[in-house]
Amino acid sequence: MTVSAARPVPATGPADLTLDEVATEAAVLRLYRQIFAVLAREAGAMIMDAGLIDVDEAILEAFAEAGSDGLTVAEAVAACPRFDAATIERRFALLRDYQAVAKVVDRKNEQHYRAAFAPYVMLLFLRRLTERGGQSELHQLLTLEQLNVTKPDATQADGRASATRMTKIFRLMANELASLVQRGAADALREHAQLLWGNRSLITQAEEVHAAVLTAWPQLGQECAMLRIALAAYGDAIESAAGRLLEQAGTTRALGLLPAETWVSFARGAPVADLAAVLDGFVFDAPAPWFSAQGLAEAVESARQAGGTRLRPPRAEYAETAEPAPGDLVPADDQAELAAAAQRLLGGRERVSVADLLGEAGDWPTCRRLLAEMTAIHHHPALDYGLTWADGLRVDPGPGLAWTSEGWFGRGQARPVPAGKN
C-alpha cells in the first residue's frame, strides 16, 4: 500500500504503522485526490487552460442539480450544453479516475455516478482566493489557530502544531516577497504582492497566537522564537517591497504600480502643489477650436433661405411710402464709426497685441465683438488699419479665453489684396 506524504512517515518505515494510522493516511490521500481532481489536466499534470476549470465547475453543478440519483456520462454532456461533448467526456473520465466522481452503486454495469463535494469546495476556495488575494483566508486561518490553542482541552501538541504551521506560512510569504524585491521587475512585484497591502493585522493576529502558545506552554519557547523570526522577516520584506513600489511609481508615474486606495488617499489629503507636481514634465496638445471652418460654413449654408418670396407691388396711394428700388439702395457709411473704434482699440499706440486686447475683454461675448470690429476695420478700403497673424499660440487657462493665436492690430498693417485687384 502506498502511503501519502501528507505527514512525515516515521523513521521505522511504513511497516510499523498501526492499522488506524494506515486508514488515516489512506483517507487523507483519497481526499487529496478528490480535491485536486479539479486542477489536473490529466493524471499527474496540472491544468494549463483556465477554461477547463469552468468545465469541471459545470459538471459538478450538474451533479448538484441531479439529486441523489446521479448522472450518466450522456446526461452530464446534455446538462452542459455550453461545452462540446468531447471535452465533457474527457473531463468526466478524469474526475472519475481521481475518485471525485464515483459510481452510485459499485457494480460492473452501473452507469450512474455521484460527485463528491470536496472538488466543488476547492473550486469555490480558488475563486475566492483569486478575487480577494488570500487575505481573507489568512485572517480566518489565524482566527482558527487562536481558537485551537485557547480551547479548554488544548494540548502542548496543539500549540506546537499551530506555531509550526504559522512559521511556515510567514516564511513562505517573506521568501516570496524578498525574491520579488531582489530579482523581479516592479510590475511583477505589483502583480504578485496581493498580501502586501493592509496586512499589519495579519502580523498582529499571529503575535496574539504566539503569546497564547507561549503563555500556556513555556516549554515551547524554541518554536515561538522561530515564529517571531518568521514574522520579523515578513515585516522586513513588506517594508522593502513597499519602498520599491513607491520609488518606482514616483519615477515613472506608472499609476498601476500602487493600489487604488493609495491614490485616493493621496488625492484627498495632498496639497495643491503636490497634486500639480504629478503632471510635471507632461506636454499636452493645444485644444482644438470650438468650431471648425468647415462646420461654420455648413451652418451658414444651412441657414440661408432656399428662395425669396415675390411680393406684390404697392398700391398707387401708398407709392410715396413704398421702399425704393434695389438700384436706389445706398450702402451705409460707417467709416467714421470704425475709425473711432480703431483709435479706441489702439489707445494712442501704433499697434497692439490681439491676445492682450482679448485678455483685457474678460469674457467671450466681448472678445467676439472686438474681433468683429477689428475684422471690419481691416477690410474697410478707406482705413489705414489692419490685422496680421503669426503662427504662435498663447495658452493661459486663467482668463475666459483659454487660448488665442498670436496677432497684431495696428496702423498701416499689411492687408490681403481684395479679390480682382492687383
pTM above 0.75, yes or no: no
CA-to-CA separations, 298 to 132, 198, 292, 304, 372, in angstroms, rounded = 56, 59, 10, 10, 20
Domain extent for 110: 14-127
Report the CATH number at residue 380: 1.10.10
Residue 244 and residue 254: Cα distance in Å, rounded?
13
Q: Is 387 helix (H, G, I), strand (E, B) or coil?
A: strand
Percent of the chain scoring above 70 in pLDDT: 65
Asked if 98 and 141 sit in the same domain, the reply is: no
DSSP symbol at 198: T
DSSP symbol at 124: H
265 has a pLDDT exceeding 80: no
Asked if 260 and 138 sit in the same domain, the reply is: yes
Asked if 97 and 221 sit in the same domain, the reply is: no
Q: Please state the rounded mean pLDDT for residues 321-341.
A: 66
Q: CB within 8 A of 193, min separation 6: which ones?
A: 177, 180, 241, 245
E strands, 298-379, in order: 351-353
Residue 345 CA neighbour count, 13 Å, CB half: 34
Binned at pLDDT 50, 70 and 90, residue 226 comes out as very high
The number of folded domains in the chain is 3
Q: Is 352 helix (H, G, I), strand (E, B) or coil?
A: strand
Q: Please state the rounded mean pLDDT for residues 245-271.
A: 67
Please say which residue of 127, 146, 172 terminates a domain.
127
404 has a pLDDT exceeding 60: yes
Residue 304 lies in a domain: no
Q: Please state the rounded mean pLDDT for residues 342-368.
A: 81
Q: What is the pLDDT of residues 130-178, one digit of tens each?
A: 666 666 777 888 888 989 899 999 999 999 999 999 999 888 888 878 8
Q: Please state the rounded mean pLDDT for residues 237-265.
A: 67
Residue 41 lies in a domain: yes
Q: What is the pLDDT of residue 76?
A: 92
Asked if 139 and 229 sit in the same domain, the reply is: yes
Residue 326 lies in a domain: no
Which cell is 351 given? Answer: 499697434
Q: Please state the rounded mean pLDDT for residues 66-81.
A: 90
Q: CB within 8 A of 157, min separation 6: which ones?
A: none
